[in-house]
Structure 1
Amino acid sequence: MDEQAQAILQRILRRLSSKKIQTTLRAWGCLSPEQLEDLDYTQPKWLLLENLISKCEESRLRLKDVTKLEMVYHIENPNQGKWHAFKLTEPEDEAVSVDFTQFKEMFVAHLEEVVQHVSVRMKKQEDGAVWIRMAWGDNFTRPNHLKPTYAVHYLQTPYVFVLNLSAKHKPFLYQALVLSSRYTSINEAHLSCRSLTAMRDLLMKQYQQVFPNQERTLRERNAPPSNPNIEKEHAESAWRTHQMACEAFGDGAVPKLETAVYKLETRYRGSSNNTLSDRDELFRGVVKFSSSNLLESLRHCVSTGMAEAPVTPLLSSITQKGRNYFVITEKAPGATSQTPAR
Structure 2
Amino acid sequence: MDDSTKRLLQQLVRRIPTQMLKTTLEKWGRLTTEQQKSLDFTQPKWVLTENLLAFCEENGWTTKHITELEMIYVTDSPNQGMWYAFQLLDPEDDAPSVELTQFKEQFKIHLTELIRHVSIKIKKHTDEAVWIRIAWGDSFSRPNHLKPTYVVHHLQTPYVFMSSVTRKQKPLLSQALVLATRYTAIKDAHLSGRKLTAIRDVVMKQYQQVFPTKYPSPLLEQNQTASNPLIKREQAESSENRHQMACEAFGYGMVPQLQTAVYKLETKFRGITNKTMTERGEPIRCVVKFTSTNLLESFRNCASSGIASTPVTPLLSSITQKGRNFFVITDNGRGPS
TM-score, scaled to structure 2: 0.93
Structure-1 residue corresponding to 2:335: 338
2-side partners of 1:85 and 1:111: how far apart? 20
- Secondary structure of 1:207's aligned partner: coil
- TM-aligned CA deviation for residue 320 of structure 1: 0.4
Structure-1 residue corresponding to 2:326: 325
Summarize deviations over 1:73-131 as a string: whole Å, max 9, x none. Answer: 11011011111111000000111000000000000000111111000000011222000
Structure-2 residue corresponding to 1:245: 246
Summarize deviations over 1:256-302 as a string: whole Å, max 9, x none. Answer: 11111111111122223222223232111111111111111111111
Structure-2 residue corresponding to 1:266: 267
2-side partners of 1:310 and 1:338: how far apart? 15
2-side partners of 1:263 and 1:36: how far apart? 52
Structure-2 residue corresponding to 1:119: 119
**Higher mean C-alpha displacement, 53-62 vs 134-143:** 53-62
Structure-2 residue corresponding to 1:222: none
1:25-40 matches, within 5 Å, as: 25-40=25-40
- TM-aligned CA deviation for residue 195 of structure 1: 0.3
Say yes or no: does 1:304 pair with 2:305. yes
1-side partners of 2:304 and 2:101: how far apart? 48
Letter in 2 for 1:13: V
Letter in 2 for 1:313: P
Q: Contact between 2:95 and 2:183, CA under 8 Å: does it hold in 1?
A: yes
- Secondary structure of 2:319's aligned partner: helix
Structure-1 residue corresponding to 2:224: none
Residues 236 and 29 (structure 1), Cα distance of their counterparts in 2 relative to 1, 3 Å cut: same
Letter in 1 for 2:266: E
Q: Contact between 2:107 and 2:179, CA under 8 Å: does it hold in 1?
A: yes
- Secondary structure of 1:141's aligned partner: coil
2-side partners of 1:206 and 1:129: how far apart? 14
Summarize deviations over 1:295-334 as a string: whole Å, max 9, x none. Answer: 1111111111111011000000000000000001112xxx
Structure-1 residue corresponding to 2:288: 287
1-side partners of 2:7 and 2:252: how far apart? 44
**Higher mean C-alpha displacement, 203-212 vs 307-316:** 203-212
Q: Contact between 1:71 and 1:133, CA under 8 Å: does it hold in 2?
A: yes
Structure-1 residue corresponding to 2:136: 136
Q: Contact between 1:263 and 1:286, CA under 8 Å: does it hold in 2?
A: yes
Q: Where do 4+ consecutive residues of structure 1 move more than 4 Å? A: none
Q: Contact between 1:8 and 1:70, CA under 8 Å: does it hold in 2?
A: no
- Secondary structure of 2:165's aligned partner: coil
Summarize deviations over 1:215-257 as a string: whole Å, max 9, x none. Answer: 249xxxxxxxxxxx86424011111101111110111111111
Letter in 2 for 1:288: K
1-side partners of 2:210 and 2:182: how far apart? 34
- Secondary structure of 1:81's aligned partner: coil
- TM-aligned CA deviation for residue 188 of structure 1: 0.4
- TM-aligned CA deviation for residue 339 of structure 1: 5.2
- Secondary structure of 2:236's aligned partner: helix
**Higher mean C-alpha displacement, 176-185 vs 48-57:** 48-57
- TM-aligned CA deviation for residue 41 of structure 1: 1.3
Alignment: residue pair count:
325
Letter in 1 for 2:4: Q
2-side partners of 1:90 and 1:201: how far apart? 22
- Secondary structure of 2:247's aligned partner: helix
- TM-aligned CA deviation for residue 11 of structure 1: 2.1
Q: Contact between 1:31 and 1:56, CA under 8 Å: does it hold in 2?
A: no
- Secondary structure of 2:256's aligned partner: coil
- Secondary structure of 1:103's aligned partner: helix
Say yes or no: does 1:17 pair with 2:17. yes
- Secondary structure of 1:272's aligned partner: coil
Letter in 1 for 2:125: Q
**Higher mean C-alpha displacement, 123-132 vs 279-288:** 279-288
- TM-aligned CA deviation for residue 187 of structure 1: 0.4
Structure-1 residue corresponding to 2:63: 63
Summarize deviations over 1:20-51 as a string: whole Å, max 9, x none. Answer: 11101011122223321121211111111111
TM-score, scaled to structure 1: 0.92
Q: Contact between 1:327 and 1:338, CA under 8 Å: does it hold in 2?
A: no
Letter in 2 for 1:30: R
Residues 44 and 216 (structure 1), Cα distance of their counterparts in 2 relative to 1, 3 Å cut: closer
Structure-2 residue corresponding to 1:209: 209
1-side partners of 2:29 and 2:90: how far apart? 40
Q: Contact between 1:249 and 1:319, CA under 8 Å: does it hold in 2?
A: yes
Structure-1 residue corresponding to 2:106: 106
Unaligned runs of 5+ in 2: 218-229
Structure-1 residue corresponding to 2:225: none
